[in-house]
Amino acid sequence: MEKLVIEGGIPLQGDVKVSGAKNAALPLMAATLLCAGKHILRNVPDLRDTRTLARLLENLGAVVSRDGDVLTIDTTVLHHGEASYELVKTMRASVLVLGPLVARLGKTRVSLPGGCAIGERPVNFHIDGLRELGAVCAIKEGYIEAEAKKLYGNTIYFDIPSVTATENLLMAASLAKGTTVLKNAAKEPEIGNLVDMLNGMGAKISGRGTDVLTVEGVDSLHPADCSIIPDRIEAGTYLLAIAATGGAGRVTHCCPGDLPSLVEKLRHAGLEIIEEADALAVSWKDGTRNLSRVDIKTAPFPGYPTDLQAQFMALMTLCSGQSAVHETIFENRFMHVAELRRMGAKITVDGRLAIVSGLGMNGLKGAPVMATDLRASSSLVIAGLAASGRTDISRIYHLERGYEDLVGKLTGLGARVWKEQE
Ligand code: EPZ
């Protein structure tokens, strides 16, 4: 296996270009199953997760080809409707093929994704929602078996605004007979990207950007030609990395409006954030490199994103004072804490609340650490960039799931970072 080596303590400077959003690419790739034909998806990041989903689509019978950041997905012929455990266990977002396959084929067998490092990650909202659209769903030998000659519109209320459950049911409802209303639906920008793609395919979805989505079912759709939105989590990760190293720079090709909470939190921490049309610039107000403590509490969009919690905690290990990090979405999303402690961080955890006692800038020391999940890994990268000395991060396959060309992009900002065999 490979590890990432970072010689820290160098202030990052310059521009870094954001890639397409992983969490938009995955549902939009799944949506190509809704209708036969050649779909074009643009600005698709080349990641472990998008490659995994491409393999799953090919296993179903699709033909997937990539030309730069343009993915062509031909779903004219689907041989079967089964998503095997071997494929689904490596990426739980594979469950996103459930809704499209029921709608397209009337029958599907998708492996239950199982838990993951950050939590149990149940999919009951996905299954209950399909049942409310008239599908017969059963769990047999670790698989979700769903069948429906036709799906029928209904009103579905989510107890929690689940992102992928909203996406799965939006896709299924697009081809249902009648009207579906999704209430307490997720409002993340990636949902808006999916709504735009589906409407571009001939679906009739209204309520974009709100927590009530209304879908007038149609008999058929036509192939898509659409673009993936910029990755707001990647953009936030680089903003935090530049800040943590005491540097200054711009994150380009992003949507500043997709990070409202992070921008406010960075300003409260004492950073200068300039919002441009498609970029965010971060610098220091008056030349000092003194970070103020800031509390965060994760919440569904537009609240503070859980996918940037670990990265913000890394920044707060460098502030002057104590900050509270409250993780409300997942029950086990503090796996980065033990690794940050190995670098000298002072953090106490009580359930879903972590208290970070800042060391001041340059307070961290490089050390060998281990990646445990995608966003925890990026927190360790930020800490390693800020720390004095060398940090070796093992199991970097976690990172490669969600950050395209990480070494190239960091090197472009002046970081000393490379990969080595473990
Ligand atoms: C999506 O996961 C993202 N993944 C996650 O990003 C992100 O952390 C999460 O949304 C929250 O923003 C993709 O979009 C591929 P949820 P998802 O359903 O949809 C509970 C990353 O790092 N829940 O919104 O699986 C669940 O346990 C990944 O890129 C149920 O109880 O998250 C959680 O507590 C990590 N039953 C809460 O809802 C269900 O059927 C929110 O989860 C579904 C979810």
211-248 pLDDT, tens per residue? Answer: 999 999 999 999 999 999 999 999 999 999 999 999 99
Question: What is the per-residue pLDDT across 176-206, written as a single tens digit (0 to 9) for each?
Answer: 999 999 999 999 999 999 999 999 999 999 9
Atom of ligand 1 nearest to the CA of 402: 29
Q: Which pLDDT score is estimated for 117? A: 82
Residue 113 pLDDT class (50, 70, 90 cuts): confident
Q: Which pLDDT score is estimated for 412? A: 98
Whether the per-residue pLDDT at 106 is higher than 80: the answer is yes
In three-state secondary structure terms, 312 is helix
Q: pTM of the entire structure?
A: 0.98
Q: Give the mutation target among 22, 23, 123 for probing the ligand 1 site: most ligand atoms within 8 A of CB.
A: 23
Residue nearest to atom 35 of ligand 1 (CA): 307
Query: How do strand 322-326 and strand 38-42 relate by DSSP bridges?
Result: unpaired
Distance in Å from the first CA to the final CA of the chain:
6
Whether the per-residue pLDDT at 287 is higher than 80: the answer is no
Residue nearest to atom 24 of ligand 1 (CA): 162
Atom of ligand 1 nearest to the CA of 190: 14
**Amino acid identity, residue 44?**
V
Residue 411 pLDDT class (50, 70, 90 cuts): very high
The mean predicted confidence, pLDDT, of the chain is 96
* C-beta of 93 in contact with ligand 1 (< 6 A): yes
Whether the per-residue pLDDT at 302 is higher than 80: the answer is yes
Q: Which pLDDT score is estimated for 248? A: 97
Whether 116 is a known active-site residue: answer: yes
* C-beta of 125 in contact with ligand 1 (< 6 A): yes
Percent of the chain with pLDDT over 90: 93
Atom of ligand 1 nearest to the CA of 119: 27
Whether the per-residue pLDDT at 326 is higher than 80: the answer is yes
Residue nearest to atom 7 of ligand 1 (CA): 307
Residue nearest to atom 10 of ligand 1 (CA): 163
Residue 137 pLDDT class (50, 70, 90 cuts): very high
Give the mean pLDDT of 252-269: 98
Q: Which pLDDT score is estimated for 1? A: 87
Percent of the chain with pLDDT over 70: 100
* C-beta of 119 in contact with ligand 1 (< 6 A): yes
Bigger pLDDT: 89 vs 267 = 267
Give the mean pLDDT of 35-61: 97
Distance 163 CA to ligand 1 centre (A): 6
Alpha helices in 209-361 (DSSP H): 232-244, 260-268, 309-316, 335-342
* C-beta of 163 in contact with ligand 1 (< 6 A): yes
In three-state secondary structure terms, 420 is strand
234-to-216, 240, 308, 388, 404 alpha-carbon distances in Å? 34, 10, 9, 24, 9
Whether the per-residue pLDDT at 115 is higher than 70: the answer is no
Distance 389 CA to ligand 1 centre (A): 36
Residue 20 bridge partners (DSSP): 230
* C-beta of 401 in contact with ligand 1 (< 6 A): no
Q: Which pLDDT score is estimated for 300? A: 98
Question: What is the per-residue pLDDT across 78-105, written as a single tens digit (0 to 9) for each?
Answer: 999 999 888 888 888 999 999 999 999 9
Q: From its phi and psi, is residue 172 left (phi > 0), alpha (psi between -120 and 50) or beta?
A: alpha
